[in-house]
Structures are given as structure tokens and as C-alpha cells.
A and B are shown apart, each in its own frame.
Chain A
Amino acid sequence: MLTLNASQLDEFFALIEKKRELYLPVENKTGKSEYKRWVEGDKYSTALRTVKSAKNFFFAKSENLYDLKMDHKNVEVIDTREDIKEFVIFGVRGCDVKSFDILDNVYLQDPVDTYYKNRRDHGLVISMACSKPATTCFCALFDIDATSPNGDIQAWNVEDKFYFNPLTEKGDAFVEEFKECFTDEDSKPVEKQKEETLNIIERLPFVNLNMEGFGVEDKLKAIFDRPEWEDLSSTCIGCGTCTYVCPTCQCFDIKDFNVGDGSIKRFRCWDSCMYSDFTQMAAANPRLTQTARFRQRFMHKLVYYPIKNEGIYGCVGCGRCLVSCPVQMNIVKVIKAMGDN
């Protein structure tokens, strides 16, 4: 397997950055890690998760769509899309890699979202296998193998060595391009780490939750009508933190910024189904109470999405909402309450 010594990592990064934009998790001042554009001196963070997910690279927090220029009575539409440079995201965990598939299902189906596709086409994902999962992780529940993540290239970090395995054509080409960086070594340490990690994953508290009843059409109505929604959502503050840290939440709003000189910048930005002013563009939000909005979020991830997408759940078990929710409500508590666990 292709390997690289940890000591050569920065050299590798510098080389990538010469030809592409490189993003990777770096520890910030609070001790947590977050994706950032690599600059000389940045150290790759091996932390389990970044606070924000990696979805921002393809589904940006906010993104300009086009400009409208008004000249007296005439309106001119200006496409403001700039050419996107090829970029590489390094160190994406298995759960986040899986989230790209979930987003693809939404944005790459007809009609294709060209803004999303544009970014997707220009991005290359180097994933990183997990070796120290947290008790709040439950990707295994959704059949994600964190020890062997997807991506254009999958990677492992065993002690002071990094192992790479290209999975796609894009990955192959990349490896070829940077072949002088790698040496070829035995992959036994990887196998060993995989085994050890799987051993831990089995003992994680949420990987064996009972998912029966979710994701099937004939149980939809029953789950929808469960009385537990009321209690579970009773202290939901509707802040949307869960949706903003979630790698699979995919809703956006389209808004106008009036520059004031007769031109308008139309942009889209993340939205949250937890907000009372969600989906107001057509009329009013059809979900009138926080309970309804709360239910919507989990119904979408656990029932509607899998029904539409061959049983794939809209959750990847990254555990971010378990950490971030201000009132400690989360999808695990919902699954437990609804799924007879």
C-alpha cells in the first residue's frame, strides 16, 4: 500500500497546495478542530471530528447565485459564478464521506444543481479511517465502516505512517500525479488497526439500536402520529444548531441582498427546518409548532429519506448533534423513544 511518513506530511501538503487548494482539519484556539485552507505551519489534526461537518465544501453556508442590475426600468441578470479551482479535502472521516452521497442524491438528481455539481466536480476527497471512535459515534448503525472510509482516496494513520488507497479514477490520477511522494509498503499495520477499531466499535453504546419501523412506508403514518413527539420536543428551542452542524442537512433559503445602488445580489444560504421562518417563500411555514418542525427533521432523516432512497437513512451517525444540542436532545434519543429500544 502507498505510504507516507508523518514527517513528510507537510512536504506533501505543500506540494498539493502548489497545484490545488488544500483543506484539512486543523486545531483551533479552543482545542477543537475545524477545516481550513492549509498554509505553511498548519498541522493536520487527528481529532475525531471537526465541529462543522465537511458539507460546507460542496453545499456552502452561503453562496452567491447571480446579480440583478437595475437601470431605471431594465433588469439585467449577471451570472457571478467564478471558475472554481481544483481542491482537495484531506482527512474526511467515514461518516462525512457518506454524507456526500446523501447530498448527491438530492443535488445531483434531475434537475441537477449546477452550483453543487460544479464544486463536487472540482473536489477530491481523501478520507481518513477512524481508530479512536467516541461513545457518541454510531455510524455503524447505518452500515458505515469507519475503519475503511470511502472517498476518492481512503487513508489510514497508523502510528507515524499514513497509508493511502485510491478508490476512484480521480483518486488514481491523483496518486499518479503525486507518486514521487509515496513509497509502497506492507498494509499489515492497517489491517491490524482495522481489527482493533472494529473491536471498539462493537462496544459503542448506540451501534445496535433497533431501527425497525423506520424507513418503511407502511409504518410512516404510525410513527408520524406517535405521542412521544410532543414530549421530546417540549424544550426544543428551535435554534437550528443540529441542522448547521449536521453533515446531511441540506436545506437552503434563497435571499436577496439589496446593495442599495440599484443592484441586488441573489444568494442562497443554509436554512433550518427547525426555524419558524423556514419555507416561508411560498406562503407560510406549513409546520406551525415546534413539535411539528422537530418531527419533520427526524421524520425526514429516519423515514422519508430512506423511503425515497432505497433505505438509506439521512443520518450518518457522526454524533455532532449529540455534542452540540443546547438542550441535549438528539437523534439517538428520538430513535430510542420511537423504535422500542
Chain B
Amino acid sequence: MSVKEKTEFQPKIVAFCCNWCSYAGADLAGTNRTNYPANVKIIRVPCSCRVNPIFILRAFQRGADGVIICGCHPGDCHYITGNYYTRRRMTLLFSMLDFLGIEKDRTRVEWVSASEGGRFAEVMTEFTNDVKAIGPNRKLEDLRCKAK
């Protein structure tokens, strides 16, 4: 990393990945040695439908600048229908965050299968760049967690 990169804004990004597709896709990105920004840190969940909106807000509160949720492609859910619920929940939640004036690019849902290691890396790179572009999370921060 160059000095310039080290001094520029490095967002904290939380990625919730379903165990069966996206987490495996992330593993594949590793196996293929496909680079993506280290800003992204993955939390493994059984299914994307396990992701509670509370977790997303919590991440922002605790200092995350972007949250991305990855699951199996619709129709391919290991649990048959989980990601369909994720899709509805997150569509509505993101729309609400937008309604409150929160930047739309801070949240994202992507469907990444276990075979899409390359795509996983691409998505993460793109998302990190998007978040970098909008800067640090100010609107959903909790100052108590910033005083360090």
C-alpha cells in the first residue's frame, strides 16, 4: 500500500455472507488468490435471511461505513426460500434508509454463488470504492463508539 493509500479514507465494511453460497464464493476468491480490499470483513450467517435490520444498523452505530449482504442467487437458496425474504426485507429497509436521507451506496445486497469467486472480489472492490467515494458514515454514527 502506498503512503497515499494509507492516508486516504479507509472505510470499514461489514459483509454478511450466507454459509452455502457467498461465504463459499469468498473462499473461492481466496483459493484463486483474487485480490479485493482488506476493508471488507466477513461475518458468516447460515442464510442471508438471518440478517436482521438491527445488525445492519448496529454495524453503522459501531463504526461501519458500508454494509453488504450476500446470499445465494434467488431460486438457489440452500433453504429454498430464504433469500426471497431477504430480498423483500432489504429492499424495504434500504428504501427506508434512503427516505431518511442516508446515502444509498452504503448498503447493498448481492447474490454470489459458491462458484463466483471472481465476482465476489469484483463486487467487494466495487462496493468498497463506492463507499470510499461517499466518505465516512456520519448520519448513522454513534459518537460514543468513535472516541478512540
A260 to B145, CA, bound (A): 8
A28 to B104, CA, bound (A): 30
A61 to chain B minimum Cβ distance, whole angstroms, is: 15
A257 at interface, CB cutoff 8 A: yes
B4 at interface, CB cutoff 8 A: no
Which residues of chain B have C-beta atoms less than 8 A from A257's C-beta? 144
Chain A interfacial residues counted at CB < 8 A? 5
Q: Which label, helix, strand, loop or mixed, suits the secondary structure of the A interface? A: loop
A313 to B145, CA, bound (A): 42
A261 to B62, CA, bound (A): 10
Q: Is the CB of B148 within 8 A of A261?
A: yes
A198 to B43, CA, bound (A): 68
Which residues of chain B have C-beta atoms less than 8 A from A260's C-beta? 62, 145
A282 at interface, CB cutoff 8 A: no
From 227 to 276 in chain A, residues with beta carbon under 8 angstroms from any chain B beta carbon are: 257, 259-261, 265
Q: Which of A257, A259, A261, A265 has the largest count of B CB atoms less than 10 A from its CB?
A: A259
A257 to B147, CA, bound (A): 13
Which residues of chain B have C-beta atoms less than 8 A from A259's C-beta? 144-145, 147
B74 to chain A minimum Cβ distance, whole angstroms, is: 34
Which residues of chain B have C-beta atoms less than 8 A from A265's C-beta? 144
A304 to chain B minimum Cβ distance, whole angstroms, is: 36
A92 to chain B minimum Cβ distance, whole angstroms, is: 30
From 282 to 313 in chain A, residues with beta carbon under 8 angstroms from any chain B beta carbon are: none
Binding site for B on A (CB under 8 A): 257, 259-261, 265
Binding site for A on B (CB under 8 A): 62, 144-145, 147-148
Can you name 8 A-B residue pairings with CB atoms under 8 Å? A257-B144, A259-B144, A259-B145, A259-B147, A260-B62, A260-B145, A261-B148, A265-B144
> 5 other contacts beyond A259-B145, A261-B148, A265-B144, with CB at 8 A cut-off?
A257-B144, A259-B144, A259-B147, A260-B62, A260-B145
